Amino acid sequence: MKYDIIVLGSGPGGYVTAIRASQLGFKVAVIEKENLGGICLNWGCIPTKALLKSAQVFDYLKHASDYGLTIKEYDKDFNAVISRSRGVADGMSKGVQFLMKKNKIDVIEGAGKIKPGKKVDVDNNGTVTEFTADHIIIATGARSRELPNLPQDGKKVIGYRQAMSLPDQPKSMIVVGSGAIGVEFAHFYNSMGTDVTIVEFLPNIVPLEDEEVSKQMERSMKKAGVKIMTNASVEKVDTSGNGVKATVKTAKGEEILEADILLSAVGIKSNIENIGLEEVGIATDRDKILVNDFYQTNIPGYYAIGDVVPGPALAHVASAEGITCVEKIAGLHVDKIDYGNIPGCTYATPEIASVGLTEKQAKEKGYELKIGKFPFSASGKAKASGAADGFVKVIFDAKYGEWLGCHMIGAGVTDMIAEAVVARKLETTGHEIIKSIHPHPTMSEAIMEAAAAAYDEVIHL
């Protein structure tokens, strides 16, 4: 079977790439060995948000009296919460199936392996079929990274996939790593009533964020009952007993933590093994496929996008890379992606959203800065909503007014960050944000207030 484009993998990089290619008139096939939608729809972005929504509703019930409401009896059904999450994921995967049919994209089930000559072998339960294409796009994604001292057995030492489908709620859990995955699961299980301890190797949790955001997140999580150990590393784990014993090294020495389950959230590993890269001669470096600005590998006709290439391992980045890749193949005028303007979001409580440079990064680059902060404790909407934790922090270049960075922590900020992304894309200045009328009362007006604070014009603080 001959195609114009074959996409290997159907995650948010792969299936979006396939749809855009079909829109551009290409004959397209997608190869998928498991579920359409990949990890994001089935075991990542979407089902985790369903779990976090259940946690949010449960937190509302626990704090109903704060809103003048009396609820005498309430409880959780952990298995029902997990079941709802799986149902949401299944529904989204079926939605991708519909999109494949709508766009006349062939879905080829099985494990794909690329070959020289722009060919792909697909193994479906032992039956191997060869396909050819003018262009082959690798979008095989990533999986939970395993460290030598933290081998995952899927039962007592688990990755994010098992954390979404545990048969029973653990009474206690150790979470190793405090990036988005670690913090989101720590929040979920803590909200459900599990005793949670986070172990982070670096000095701050959510270490990629602006330092003030990291410190606020630590305060908020400790207030909610999560134990946090920073500057700490898990040296070894013992799973011989009923639960897990983790030996943790800190500045004070070693101590042993005991829990029912340990969740390893120390990053991801690109899925680049056993897909034929070596046979074709495609160049890799440090677990990533090397590509140019338009995702071409060193071998003509072969491309790669998403978690398997250098850059942020985020669903929206993979989608954008795939669209850019096929539009370039189609001969359209395409600008390369600006990786300095990629938003990042963490969906715990409070939420975190950020784009651009942190204060530290901006100073290291030599900018003279104007920095504005507006706390949600001064926001009428936040106070009325019972969500006064957090703030918006904006960073501008003092000389030209360029918006260098925006960092938010608070309720709903993941839905607010797009304003900063679009404004930065359009080269909007701080004064233009101040003079753009924001609706009141809303959480989003905190962006305008923070910009005003940077220029000593803030009204409500």
Task: Give 383's contacts (C-beta < 8 A, 6+ positions apart).
Answer: 376, 377
Return d(Cα 63, Cα 335) in angstroms, integer: 49
Query: Three-state DSSP class for 323?
Result: helix
pTM, two decimal places? 0.94
Q: Give the Cβ contact number of residue 65 at 10 Å.
A: 9
Q: What's the pLDDT score for residue 39?
A: 80
User: In which region does residue 59 sit, left (phi positive, over 0), alpha (psi from -120 to 50) or beta (all else)?
Assistant: alpha
User: Binding site annotation covers 385?
Assistant: no
Q: What's the pLDDT score for residue 1?
A: 85
Instruction: Outline which parts of the chain fall under CATH 3.50.50.60.
Output: 2-144+269-339, 157-266
User: Binding site annotation covers 112?
Assistant: yes
Gyration radius of the chain over CA positions: 23
Phi/psi of residue 323, nearest 5 degrees:
-65, -45
CA distances from 172 to 101, 221, 259, 262 (A): 45, 16, 5, 9
The answer, yes or no, to whether residue 31 has pLDDT greater than 90, is yes
Q: What's the pLDDT score for residue 374?
A: 97
Distance of CA 375 to the CA centre of its chain: 25
What is the rounded average pLDDT of the residues 40-46? 83
Return d(Cα 300, Cα 282) in angstroms, integer: 10
User: Binding site annotation covers 184?
Assistant: yes
Return d(Cα 129, Cα 325) in angstroms, integer: 26
Return d(Cα 243, Cα 257) in angstroms, integer: 11
How big is the CA angle at 171 (ends 168 and 177), to the nearest 5 degrees?
Answer: 95
Structure token pair of residue 449: 């207030």
User: Crossing angle of helices 45-62/180-192, nearest 10°?
Assistant: 40
The answer, yes or no, to whether residue 41 has pLDDT greater than 90, is no
User: Binding site annotation covers 37?
Assistant: no
- pLDDT-based confidence at residue 37 (cuts at 50, 70, 90): confident
Return d(Cα 461, Cα 457) in angstroms, integer: 10
Interval 271-323: pLDDT, tens: 999 999 999 999 999 999 999 999 999 999 999 999 999 999 999 999 999 99
Q: What's the pLDDT score for residue 461?
A: 83
Structure token pair of residue 371: 């920095």
Structure token pair of residue 200: 């982070």
Return d(Cα 100, Cα 273) in angstroms, integer: 27
Return d(Cα 55, Cα 60) in angstroms, integer: 9
Residue 18: its H or E element: helix 14-23
Q: What's the pLDDT score for residue 129?
A: 96
Sheet strands (E) in 141-222: 142-144, 157-158, 172-176, 195-199
Q: What is the percent of the chain with per-residue pLDDT over 90, rounded to a whole number?
A: 93
Q: Does residue 440 have an active-site annotation?
A: yes
What is the rounded average pLDDT of the residues 20-37? 95
Instruction: Outline which parts of the chain fall under CATH 3.30.390.30.
Output: 350-454
**DSSP letter at 90?**
H
Would you identify the CATH topology of the domain 350-454?
A: Enolase-like; domain 1 (3.30.390)
The mean of the pLDDT values for the chain is: 95
Please name every residue paired with 96 in a beta bridge, in sequence order, or none if there are none: none
- pLDDT-based confidence at residue 43 (cuts at 50, 70, 90): confident
Locate tokens 């929040």: which residue?
187
> Do you find a cis peptide bond into 350, omega within 30 degrees of 0?
yes
Q: What is the percent of the chain with per-residue pLDDT over 70, rounded to a whole number?
A: 100
Asked whether 186 and 346 are in contact (CB, 8 A), the reply is: no
Query: Three-state DSSP class for 225?
Result: coil
- pLDDT-based confidence at residue 35 (cuts at 50, 70, 90): confident
Tell me the CATH architecture of domain 2-144+269-339.
3-Layer(bba) Sandwich (3.50)
Return d(Cα 338, Cα 315) in angstroms, integer: 16
Task: Identify the CATH class of 157-266.
Answer: alpha beta
Q: What's the pLDDT score for residue 152?
A: 92
Long-range contacts (CB closer than 8 Å, 24 or more residues apart) made by 364-369? 367/397, 367/398, 367/404, 368/397, 368/398, 368/399, 369/395, 369/396, 369/397, 369/398, 369/404
Asked whether 279 and 296 are in contact (CB, 8 A), the reply is: no
What is the rounded average pLDDT of the residues 251-256? 92
Interval 136-156: pLDDT, tens: 999 999 998 988 889 999 999
Q: What's the pLDDT score for residue 45?
A: 86
Return d(Cα 181, Cα 263) in angstroms, integer: 10
% helix, strand, coil for the chain, step of 5: 35, 30, 40
Q: Which of 63, 135, 440, 460 is catalytic?
A: 440
The answer, yes or no, to whether residue 69 has pLDDT greater than 90, is yes
User: Binding site annotation covers 363?
Assistant: no
User: Binding site annotation covers 180?
Assistant: yes
Return d(Cα 199, Cα 245) in angstroms, integer: 13
Interval 181-220: pLDDT, tens: 999 999 999 999 999 999 999 999 999 999 999 999 999 9
Q: Alpha helices of 200-290 — where are they, by DSSP H?
A: 211-223, 277-280
The answer, yes or no, to whether residue 34 has pLDDT greater than 90, is no
Return d(Cα 17, Cα 30) in angstroms, integer: 9
